[in-house]
Structure 1
C-alpha cells in the first residue's frame, strides 16, 4: 500500500501532456525525482496520439530512501479517445512491486464514468476508510489522463481547470490555478525557455483512510507547484519541474530529456 501511494503521488506529480491538433504524436520524456536533494526514482513517459485515440505509458525505477520510500518498480498506462480538445479515458492500469510484494489496479471507463475496476490484492475496508459511493465514480478520469494538458500557447488558461480522478482505490479532485510565468535556464535539464507555473490543490473525496498522513498532508499543503513547458511544436505542454514541500525536504521532479 505504501508503494502504491508513492506511485500515485509520483504519477500525480507527473502532469503529462496532450496534443492541441490532430497530427500524429509519438513523444517521450524522462524525469528524475529527488527528496531532500537525494535521488529516489527515475521515470520515463511515452505518449502517442493519432488524432482519434491516445495512449500514455509510464515506467519508474524507485531506488528508495531508507524506511521512507521502498525500492521497487512501478508501471502505469492509459488509453482513450482523443476528440477535439477532450481526452476521454477508456482504460487505466497500474502495477507496482516493492519488497517482494505486487500490487495491481485495472480500471475501465465509459463516457466519463467508471465501468469496472479491480484491485489485487483487495484493499481492506477498515473503520477509518471513507466509503466509495457510486456517485463518486461518475464524471471522473484516471490520474494520467487527468493531467494531459493541451492548448494554443503558454498562458494562464493552461492552469484553469478542475478534474475528478479515480485511481481504482480513491476518488479525489484536483484544481489547477495560474501562479505566474518564469524562464527555465538550467543546461542540465531537458528544456530551456519560457514556462508557466500552476499551483495544485488536492481534495480527497472517498476511498482514502482518515488516518493517512499522506492524504492529510496533501489536502493541507498549499505548496504544490508545476512548471509547464511546451513539447516542441506539437501543441503539447509537459512538466519542466514539479515541487511538493514535505517535512523531509522538497519532493521534486525535473525534466531531464524529451523527444517531441
Structure 2
C-alpha cells in the first residue's frame, strides 16, 4: 500500500490524473475502471485539460464504470451516464462504444449483471480501478454486509448512502433505493487500484479502512489485501491515520 497525502486539492487531482494518464500512455489499449461522485471530479477535469494539451489519447482505451442507479433514466442529470458524459467523456476522444456502464433500466437486472461481468471478462483484467470511499466504508455500491458478492449485482442502498447522495437530488425521496454495482471480487482483480479520499468527514473511515481489521463490515478494508494499492488523501482525510 502506497499512501500519499497532499496539502492542496490541485496537487492531489494532478497526481491522480497523472497516474491514470500514465497507464494510458504506457498501454494505449488500457482497460480503466472509473468511479463517480464528488471526489473524482477534479481528477477528471485535470485529465480533460491534459488531453486538450495533446498529452495522450483515449482513442484505443476501454472504460468500465463501477455502478449505476436502478430505474433512473440515462439522460437524468444525476444518472452516472450523465455524470460521465458531463465530467469526462465529452471532453476526450474515447469512442462511445468503448465506454461501458451498467444499464440501470434493464428489463432483467440480474441478466444485466451477468452481461456486464461477461463484458469485463472479454476485455481482460482491468489495468487501473479508480475508487472513492463511502462514509460507511462502501466501495462502488458494495455496502457493509455479513458477506460480499463477488461479481456485479443489484444492491439495496443503505440509508446512510442515500442520505449522502441526496445532496445531488431535490430530496431524499428522489434518490433511488437500488443500484447495480461491480462486486468487490471484480474490483480486487484489477492490476492496480487508485483510492482517492478527501475531507475531514472521511477521516474516521479512512483509518478504519486502511488500518483497521479486514472485515465485510467495512468493504474498503478488503483493499488492504491488494498487492498494488495507491491511496491519495488530502490532509483532512489523513488526520486519523496512525
Higher relative contact order (CA 8 A, sep 6+): 2
Shared fold (TM-score greater than 0.5)? Answer: no
Scaled by the length of structure 1, the TM-score of the pair is: 0.28
Scaled by the length of structure 2, the TM-score of the pair is: 0.29
Q: Select the structure that is richer in helix.
A: 2
Q: Select the structure that is richer in strand.
A: 1
